[in-house]
Every structure is written in C-alpha cells, then in structure tokens.
Amino acid sequence: MDVSDLMDLQTYVGERLGDKLDGAELAFDELNLTTTAENICAVLRFLRDDVQTQFISFVDICGVDYPERRKRFEIVYHLLSPRQNMRVRVRVATDAETPVPSVVDVFPGADWFEREAYDMYGILFTGHPDLRRLLTDYGFEGYPLRKDFPLTGFTEVRYDDAQKRVVYEPVELRQEFRNFDFLSPWEGTDYVLPGDEKETKAN
C-alpha cells in the first residue's frame, strides 16, 4: 500500500468529517482517527457509506485500560475497506460511568464485541439490544481485563458433579509459590540437572 494513498484518505476524511474528529494520524500503515462518544455512530456510518472510503467490513471492537487517565478506557474500532485495500482504526475515550452509544445499528456484527467489552472492562453501551456478560459466569463480580483487577481473584467457580450445580468457593492456591534462581546452567545452579549424575559417576 502506498503511503500517499493513506495521506490522501486522511485529508479527505478530515475535510468531510470536520469537527466530528478530534484527531487523525498515520501509524503502522493505518489511518487512526479519534472522535467522541456522541459522534462515533456518524463517523462509522460515513466510513461505511461514502464512495471514497467504503469501509464496509467490520473487523472488531476492543477495549484498552489506562488507569492513570481521567477517561481511563479507550474503545477501539477496526474497519477494513476491501475496495480501497485499506484499514482504519477509530478510537473513543470514556470512563467507567459514562456510556458510549452502541454501533449495532451501523454494524450488526458489533453486538458480541460490545458485550465482551462490557464483560471484560465494564464499558457501558447505550442502545445495545442485549448488554449482558458474555464470557464470565452469571453473578461474576469485577471486570477481569481492568489493570486493577486482582491477579488471583477472591472466589473461584466450578461445576460440582456431586451437587450437580455450579458452586462458588474461596480461591485456594494448591501450590506454594516457587523460588526460581534464574541462573542458566553455564552460570551454575544449586540443583542437579538431568544427566549430570552420569558425569559424576564417570569421574
């Protein structure tokens, strides 16, 4: 792909969308657009329908967590234009309390991606037809992909065959944390490596 084509696309999109964009830059052979929650549907609809863009293929939506920011979450939309042979990335910033409009009406394939972002990060989407957890269990507390989510958790969920139901239990670490010396065999280790006993017998 020619960089000049991306630059032309950046100029065209910037002129057509105007104040609906907060920023547009080229990075990693893709056009990166930044917009606001209230403009996300209009921006995606333009990218899909305009004859000069035709980003008709919806790839995915993902969340990113930046705890140090006031708006800690970024929602990232990835689109592909088979006709133009280009990709575009659109980003929207939000916080844990402020919902973002669902784009299911623009791209129906966004349905489960938005549910995943809600399940993993707690990002809220208004207008979603069925916003509920997708990957975690019913009654799960917390959002596993947030940077402040505890590494071990506090409860574990399993199916108990004797009770024939899902049970919740406190986390039990069945193995003590091991101490690694991080030394390679050439630096010397404080344990016998497999095969060393043969060398000892030979001497």
* pLDDT tens-digit readout, 64-87: 999 999 999 999 999 999 988 899
DSSP per residue over 3-46, as a string?
HHHHHHHHHHHHHHHGGGEEEEEEETTEEEEEE-GGGHHHHHHH
**What average pLDDT does the structure give for the chain?**
86
pLDDT band at 167 (very low <50, low <70, confident <90, very high): confident
Tell me what the mean pLDDT of segment 138-157 comes to: 80
Position 186 confidence tier, pLDDT thresholds 50, 70, 90: low
What is the reported pLDDT for 203? 57
Taking residue 51's Cβ as centre, other Cβ atoms within 10 Å add up to 6
pLDDT higher at 135 or 187: 135
Q: Which residues pair with 23 in a beta bridge?
A: 34
Q: Which two tokens stand for residue 168?
A: 């919740």
Question: Comparing 33-47, 73-87, 159-173, which segment has the lowest mean pLDDT?
Answer: 159-173
CA triple 10-72-89, angle to 5 deg:
20
> What percentage of the chain carries pLDDT values higher than 70?
83
- Reduced to 3 states (helix: H, G, I; strand: E, B; else coil), residue 199 is helix
- Would you state the pLDDT for residue 142? 86
* pLDDT of 3: 79
Query: Region 137-153: what's the mean pLDDT?
Result: 81
pLDDT for the residue 72: 95
pTM exceeding the 0.85 threshold for the entire prediction: no
